[in-house]
Amino acid sequence: MKLTVLGATGGTGQHVVRQALDAGHHVTAVVRDPARLPVGADPRLEVVVADAFDPDSIAAAVSGRDAVIDTLGPRPKTEATVCSRGAAAVVAAMSANNPAARLLVVTGNGHARDAGDGPFTRYVIKPLIGNTVLKKQFDDFARTERLVFDSKLRWTVLRPPQLTDGGRKPYRTAVDRNVRGGFRLSRADLADAIMVALGDPRTVGRTVGLGY
């Protein structure tokens, strides 16, 4: 498949690029600084310097691809609009240039409270941190998902818990709900889950909860 990865120099994006290449896909990595992409030369890798927040800048990078993977993540509290700005740009670019392609977007599970959560998490922990220390990030995840849900694209939203730099191990997934007790996930396993969802048409138009 021909894939485009937004946020390719980020912690998750780097794993997605590497795993996609290892699986034999052709990858277009959209970056601002190519030096920050520690992936060796590969004939199936194209590195494109573009502004991921500008639909016109990424139009060529999303055209003609089978799927676009948006791994843009939150930055410090002073810039808690990265996810939604990236989603707005990629939705606009794909809608205009490649509406039939798959779109996979990473958000988080903190803003989503559902039956997959334990009662204490759902009614105490998430409201507490969602109204205080992580309010801006959670609000941005919600804005991102509204933009994606309202699009007419073939989307899948992945909702990981707290991400770590740990290694690979078995993880759990749940469609349209959170994973009970799944409080952490490595970025490497998130990348694996993205690749699994990419190959599963049953995840189109669905959210996927993740966790150990």
Q: Where are the alpha helices (DSSP H) in the chain?
A: 11-22, 55-62, 82-97, 119-120, 126-130, 135-149, 187-198
Is 89 buried (19+), middle (13-18) or exposed (0-12) by CB count in 10 A? Answer: buried
| Average pLDDT of the residues in 16-27 | 97
Question: What is the pLDDT of the chain when averaged over all its residues?
Answer: 93
Residue 184 in this model has a pLDDT that exceeds 60 = yes
d(CA 143, CA 165): 26
Question: How many structural domains compose the chain?
Answer: 1
**Residue 192, domain extent:** 2-211
d(CA 58, CA 94): 9
Residue 113 in this model has a pLDDT that exceeds 90 = no
What's the pLDDT band for 127 if we cut at 50, 70, 90? Answer: confident
- What is the residue whose two structure tokens read 């941190």? 129
Read off the CATH number of the domain in which 134 is found.
Answer: 3.40.50.720
The better pLDDT of the pair 116, 87 is held by 87
Nearest Cα to Cα of residue 161 among 126, 131, 132 = 126
